[in-house]
Amino acid sequence: MLKNISMTLLVMVIGMLSSFFVTIILGQTLTFSDFGEFVLLKQIILIGSSIAIFGLDFSYIKVFSNNSDAGKKIHLITIIILSLISISFVLMLYIFYGFQLYKSLFIFWCICFGAINLYQAAIYRLKDQFLIAQLFSEGWKVALLLLIGVVLFSGMTIDLQLVYQIFTVSLLFSSSFIIKYFFKTHNVNDRDTNYRNYLTLGLVFWLINSTGLISGGIDKLVVPIIYDSEVLGIFTGVSFIFVISLTMIGSAIGYVIFPKISAGNEINITKLSFAIFFITLFAIIIFHITGMELVSIIFKGKFDNYIDNKIIFCFTLLGSFQIVHIILHFILSAKGNKKQLIYYWILSIFFIGMFISLLYVLKTYFPFSLLSLSIIILITRFTKIIFMIFLLKRINVDEKYSII
């Protein structure tokens, strides 16, 4: 498992660095408001792709855990479903954010292509080919950086319209490989597949993953609605280094342990907990010493007026909470039955509502500051983690008695 995590982490680091450089370049060149819309677009693509896939990437791993190849009909059903959900999701975005028509079209294609990439990644994760799987998940970020590099090299001006176009092209490249599955001969007979189980299990994971991702990125989705894109741009520029670098670690671990736990393998939680503790401690020390200088150098002093040691500590702690939250999410998703996953879904819905309510209270009764916003996110995330731990303990107790 360590080798798989290491390889996954390597590709994720490359993807993360690519995303880092893209964010840095656009953070330097775009206005606060346009940069905020870019951050919102990226968050919409990440969450929208997971919503559009309808949980069928996780369902695929569960249903075909004993046979990694599925029939062509499964692939066709999956693509039809993700396309229909993408249309519905884009219509909702239009209502909430008022995107222009051309932007909505680009977002639709981005979400479709992103969902296809997630589905292809699930196919290779089940085959224990985590490196290839991660290339489908993260490769578009590398393509995005390369395309932006070409634009800069050619002397063109980067604006929001061009950003939408580049996103679409970068996601299209890797998603196009799905075509080969419709020309590949499978040993699996479509008639042997339980489609109802595949879809109902996908529905459960869809509820879980959608609310989990929305909960994890609720700040970037709600801040532009309650405040504006400029606030989101400032918030992202200041928190970027501290939160994203730690979130990546949690994603790499969770990405590998989900199929392992689904297959019945045991995970050493104690070692994992100690590792997270020391990572958090190391990050707090390093970022306390170098945090302000890093943000100043990376964004050429653009966010210097908005950062201090309190902000750095809060965002580093938030990044550490992200590690725990992501890992617990994958463990709960892998170990829980349908009823237990529904409980987890209700829990996620509750904390999304809790965050929105607290943010409205902040907007109504208190002057805005990045520190107060970060504290609200910390309170919401920490409380949810506590409830997730209790739910996991309940699942473990249920498993013990079911065996007895």
> Of the candidates 21, 49, 45, 400, which has an alpha carbon nearest to the alpha carbon of residue 220?
45
Q: 173 and 114 in contact (C-beta within 8 Å)?
A: no
pLDDT of res. 404: 46
**What are the backbone angles phi and psi of residue 158, rounded to the nearest 5°?**
-90, 120
Q: Is 239 exposed, middle or buried (0-12, 13-18, 19+ CB in 10 A)?
A: buried
Residue bearing tokens 């993408």: 86
Q: 101 and 161 in contact (C-beta within 8 Å)?
A: no
Q: What's the CA gap between 135 and 99, in Å, rounded?
A: 30
Whole-structure pTM value:
0.76
Q: Where are the alpha helices (DSSP H) in 185-228?
A: 195-216, 218-226
Rg, C-alpha atoms of the chain? 21
Q: What's the CA gap between 169 and 175, in Å, rounded?
A: 10
**What kind and span of H or E run contains 277?**
helix 269-298
pLDDT of res. 52: 92
Residue bearing tokens 């209700």: 346
Burial track 167-187 (b if 16+ CB lie within 10 A, e otherwise): bbbbbbbbbeebeebeeeeee
pLDDT of res. 403: 46
Give Cβ neighbours of residue 17 (< 8 Å, ≥ 6 apart): none
Q: What's the CA gap between 55 and 62, in Å, rounded?
A: 11
Q: Which residue ranges in the chain fall short of pLDDT 50?
A: 187, 401, 403-404
